[in-house]
Structure 1
Amino acid sequence: MNTVTVRASRQYDILIGRGLLPTLGAEAKKLGKAQKICVVSESSVYPLYGVAAEESLKNAGFSVVSYVFPAGEESKNGQVFLDLLNFLVENRLTRSDMIVALGGGVVGDLAGFAAASYLRGIRFIQVPTTLLAAVDSSVGGKTAIDLPAGKNLAGSFCQPSLVLCDTDTLNSLPLDIFRDGCAEVIKYGVLYDPKLFAHLEEKGLAFDREAVITRCVELKRDVVMEDEFDTGARMKLNLGHTVGHGVEAKSRFAISHGKAVAIGMAIVSRASACVDTPRIVALLEKFGLPTRTDYSADDLFTYTLSDKKRSGGTVNLIIPRAIGDCAIVPTPVESLKSFIQAGL
């Protein structure tokens, strides 16, 4: 097992390794005070791991209730969010109690935002069961729900009290969902780490899971500790996301987050004439990820206007100059459409 410690507004550990889910109760107990825990999960994850999580928590002495919502990005909305808050009220969770987010990025975002909001804030534990959540969304405290105008437009910064990543849960992922997470893994290589990028080029989908997840989490930890509230260096983690969120929104989330980010990375690499564009595109394709879209620059531009990274008349684009070398480039909104067009 590997342990990565985040020292942000709340200090917490990220535990990464095989066979960790049965230790959830014991690890939660170390956090103290809580008597009741609400496990929040979704309909595709709960049947696989819900009982194991509940039993571990009960064996540690917690009273446990569970809230399970329909799987999919479509559930990350205001109505499900309010339903969850009302569920917490009905089950009389107090400010000293906790939430466990058991699932992928949708579960973590929704449960984390509920934890940030309920009683003005209670603690929560992230238990990521997808690669994407393990390397990205479970770490760093970003929580949110989607609005009709776009993705993650209502949310809060709320650091978890613990992240418990049992890499065995990745074995149940369909290959297509595993590939989604690989887009975020590749992103870390492009942003910061040529050695990680080269390891992925060499190993493909057979990369060392525990080592690669740990490396990605270390990289994100460093950025979060430098810029917890996403006003500077942390913006780089949005590589591929501005255009990618446009692809997601235009498809009404028929195109998954990972695939959309892959398309976004390829578009900005081509548009910026990055010297390593051929390697970036080749690696994305090696992992079975798309690098082009049929949507027009007009289509994508319309959705990027609602992007939360927009500031007044500019959007902060993350531009790769080479593998391991990316820059934050404030770009006038009026120039964005032509930039997207250049990368299609």
Structure 2
Amino acid sequence: MTQDNTIALSTWLKLFLLALVWGSSFMLIKKGLLVYTPTEVAAIRLAAAAAALAPFALLRLHRVKGKQWLVLLSVGMTGSLLPAFLFAFAQTQLDSGVTGALNALTPLFTLIVGALFFAQRIAPKTLVGLSIGFAGTALLVLIQGSGELSLNAYALFIVLATICYGLNLNFIKQYLPNLSPVTITGVSLLMVLPVAIIYLAGPGEVGTKLSAASDMQAWWSLAAVIALGVVGTALALILFNHVVQIANTTFASSVTYLIPIVAVSLGLLDGEIITLFQVAGMGLILVGVWIANRQSSKPIAATPNQVGASEAAR
């Protein structure tokens, strides 16, 4: 990021690419749940992501020093392990589009965690933009097509996941500015991999379901979850953490304002219903992103350890 804190066009493009990838993740979870349990979906996802980055992570273990090991374990827990299980359980009762919309709580919790524990400043303009985006999210989640107010209790799993993401963002920005995206993502996933392996080797029944399948659905569902792990978790986390380092936590977490647009659109293609309320909500989300990330003369959500334009490719 330049000294006047202008967000470069290339950084915006990376943000939109992340929105496309992560917005598709909820549909992939939905397809995985057609055959596998939530815990199986989460475990396969984590195992695939960790396996994809394991060769790179192993070569970078020597770069991790001292207390960074504990921080990376925290990143693995809050950025990958816990959200993987929480999202899978939530989508047993939530549409993929609604789940994607709830993701937009992440910037709010990022700001709250940063302000409470990391002495970050919240610019009034940023707060206004995030509030508008959150209002759009609330419209997507709370108002049904009939105009009635309704919220599925399983949404609380997503709320917990977004709190985890808020912690994760601040951990990376505050404590790991000098580690590359590949190192942070690969090593943190490697540290939580044993949880997935223990479950898949023990109570998990993935192999049984694949061998007993009378059609290809079990294999298609497995492919969907593996794609979710490799592309939607491993590769996307590298890009995401890179954006955190070259921009700021508020800008990076704003990707979750764009995710509902992708998630709801894919849900529509898969037979889910989209209403005028959802269209209005997506419009508010876009306006909120624009306001929160307009060029400013002062940094927003700044941390003591600001990351310069030079990134160490994770």
Q: What is the TM-score when the length of structure 1 is the normalising length?
A: 0.23
Q: What is the TM-score when the length of structure 2 is the normalising length?
A: 0.25
Q: Which has the higher strand share?
A: 1
Higher relative contact order (CA 8 A, sep 6+): 2
